[in-house]
Amino acid sequence: MSNLNSKLSRRTVLRGLGVSLALPWLEATSSLARASTAAVSAAPSRMAFIFVPNGVVLDNWTPKTDGYGFKLPYIMEPLAPVHDDLLVISGLTHDKGRDNGDGPGDHARSASVFLTGAQPRKTDGENIRSGVSVDQVAAQKIGQRTRFSSLELGVDPGRNAGNCDSGYSCAYSSNISWSSESTPVGKEVNPRLVFERLFAAGTPSEVDKSVQQRQALQKSVLDFIADDAKRLQTKLGRNDNRKLDEYLTGIREIERRVGSDVAAKPLDVDVDYAIPDGIPGDYQDHMRMMCDMMVLAFQTDSTRIATMMFANAGDNKNYRKIGVPDGHHDISHHGGNPEKLKKITEINRFHVQQLSYLLQKMKSIKEGDRTLLDNSMICYGSGISDGNRHNNENLPVILAGGGNGTIETGRHIRFDTETPMCNLFMSMLERMDVDVPFVGDSTGYLSGLTV
C-alpha cells in the first residue's frame, strides 16, 4: 500500500528540546514524491484501539437509525465535531469473553478478549494464557517499517501477578495487548516516559559527534548480553526459558532499532510540544496527555500501531468531577436503577469526550490533501456491553477515521448478533497491509465498511 517508506525514513533532531524527533509527514515530502514518481503516493495507514471498562448504557449509546444521517445519542454528543468521521458499529460479539464454562470473571475476560478474541485460561498463577492481540499481529508483520513496532498506552498502572477478578490473573485485567499467548505487553502510563522513549536519542551534538562509535559500542553490549542469554537457555527449565524468551525478544527489538536504517538521522525541525513533567494528577489531563503521545507518535511516523486503556477492566474509580462520587464498577451493577443509569451514562459520555479530544486533534493535523484522522482507524469500545448483565454480544464499538480512504464514515451500521468482533479486526488488518488467515475467533471479513 505505502511505498513511501524509503522517502519517509528521514528523521529529525530537535534543537532546543535536546531530543530527536522523527520527521512529521510533511507536505513537501508529498509533493516531492509526486514530482519524482508517477505513482500517486499515500501517507501510511495507522491503527489504534481504545478500551473502556464496565460496558456502557446501550440505550444512550446506540443511534436510533441506521446508515447516514444518524442523530448522535446522548453519550456520543461530544463527538459532534467529528460526526462525519465516525462509523458506529452495532451487533458485534466477543464470544470468548463469555464464561463458556469457566464461571465468573467477566471483567478480566472483557479486557483480555478485547483484542485477542481468545478465551483466557482461568488462572491467577504464572501459567497465564490468552492469544496474540490484533495490534501485535500487525506489529509483528509490519512493525519493522517504523522505529517502534507498536505503542501500548494506558492511564491506570497495571499488575501482572495476583488475582484481580474471581480467579483471573491481574495480567488479564490490566493489559489488552498480547505479543504471544503467554506474554502481555505492559502498557506505559507515564507520558514523560513515552515521550522520552519516542524522542530521546541524545542531543544533536552527541548524535552528530560519534553516531558510528556509539552504535558500535551499543552493538557490542547487545552481542555480549545476547550471548549470555543464549548460554543460559541450555541451563534452565521450561518456565524460566519462557522468561528468557521475553528478554531475547526485547534484545532483538533494540538491535533492530540500533542497526536499521530507520534509526535517527539529524535534521532541524521544530515540533511544538513541551516535554511532559510526569503523570498529571487529574484523570482527564492524564488521559488527554496520553492521547497527545499517541498523536505525536503517529504524526512523526514513529509507529503506526497503538493501544490505549482509558482504565483497567472492572475499574472502580469515582468520577467526582462530573458529579459521580460512586465507584464506576459498583454502580455499573445498576440493577435498572434510573439514578445509577444516569451516572453511568455520564461516565460513558466523559470517556467519549476524551475520544473526541483525540479525534479532533488528529483531524487538525494535515497530511497532504487529507488529515491524520483520514489516514487512521481508531477502534473504541468495551469488551462487555451492559455492566449489569456482563453480556458480550452487541458490543459498543466506534470505528473512527477514514482508513486512508477505505472506509465510508458518517454512518451507523448494524450486524447480525453473534458476528465476531474479530471480523472487524480482519478488515482493519487488511487495510494495514497485513495478510493473515484469521485472528482470534474471526470467521471472515466484515462487509459494509464501504457502501
Partner 1 sequence: MEEVVEVARANASDFASRAFRRPLTTEESDRLFSLMRSAWEADASPNEIMQTTIAAVLASPHFIYRIEEDDDALFEDGIRALNDFELASRLSYFLWSSTPDKVLRDAAQTKQLHTPEQLAAQVDRMLADPKAEALVKNFVGQWLQLRDLERLSPDPKLFSTFDEPLRQSMRRETELLFKHIMAEYRSVLDLLNADYTFINERLAQHYGVENIAGDEFQRVELGGKRRGVLMHASILLLTSNPTRTSPVKRGKWVLDNLLAEPPPPPPPNVPELGEAGETLGTLRQRMEQHRADPNCAVCHTKMDALGFGLENFDAIGMWRDADGRETIDPSGELPGGRTFASPADLVQILAENKKEEFARCMTTKMLTYALGRGLGVSDRCTVSSIVDNLSNDEFRFVTLVKSIVTSPPFMFQESGR
Residue 247 engages partner 1 in binding (rule: CB under 8 A): yes
Which is nearest to 200 in space by CA: 122, 264, 143, 114?
264
Residue 330 engages partner 1 in binding (rule: CB under 8 A): yes
Alpha helices in 368-434 (DSSP H): 421-431
Dmax of the chain from CA atoms? 67
Residue 253 engages partner 1 in binding (rule: CB under 8 A): no
- Nearest approach in angstroms of CB 388 to partner 1 is 7
- Nearest approach in angstroms of CB 306 to partner 1 is 25
- Nearest approach in angstroms of CB 350 to partner 1 is 16
- Answer for which of 318, 360, 391, 406 binds partner 1 (CB under 8 A) is 318
Residue 320 engages partner 1 in binding (rule: CB under 8 A): yes
Taking the C-alpha atoms of residue 446 and residue 421, their distance in angstroms, rounded to an integer, is 9
Taking the C-alpha atoms of residue 31 and residue 41, their distance in angstroms, rounded to an integer, is 9
Taking the C-alpha atoms of residue 72 and residue 76, their distance in angstroms, rounded to an integer, is 6
Burial state string for 97-126 with b = 16 or more CB within 10 A and e = fewer than 16: bbeeebeebbbbbbbbbbbbbbbbbbebee
Binding mask 363-402 for partner 1 (x = CB under 8 A): -------------------------x--------------
Residue 337 engages partner 1 in binding (rule: CB under 8 A): yes
* Contacting partner 1 within 55-74 (CB under 8 A): none
- Nearest approach in angstroms of CB 449 to partner 1 is 36
Which is nearest to 48 in space by CA: 299, 326, 319?
299
- Nearest approach in angstroms of CB 44 to partner 1 is 32
Nearer to partner 1, 104 or 266 (CB): 104
Taking the C-alpha atoms of residue 354 and residue 347, their distance in angstroms, rounded to an integer, is 11
* Contacting partner 1 within 118-177 (CB under 8 A): 125-126, 166-167
- Nearest approach in angstroms of CB 229 to partner 1 is 5
Block residue for cell numbers 491503527: 47
- Answer for which of 39, 40, 272, 336 binds partner 1 (CB under 8 A) is 336
Block residue for cell numbers 480512504: 405
Cα 284 to Cα 244, 350, 355, distances in angstroms: 38, 9, 11
* Contacting partner 1 within 79-108 (CB under 8 A): 99, 103-105
Is residue 83 within 8 Å of residue 359, measured between CB atoms? no
Binding mask 215-244 for partner 1 (x = CB under 8 A): -xx--xx--xx-xxx--x--xxxxxx--xx
| Residues engaged in binding partner 1 (CB under 8 A) | 99, 103-105, 125-126, 166-167, 213, 216-217, 220-221, 224-225, 227-229, 232, 235-240, 243-244, 247, 316-318, 320, 325-327, 330, 333, 335-337, 388
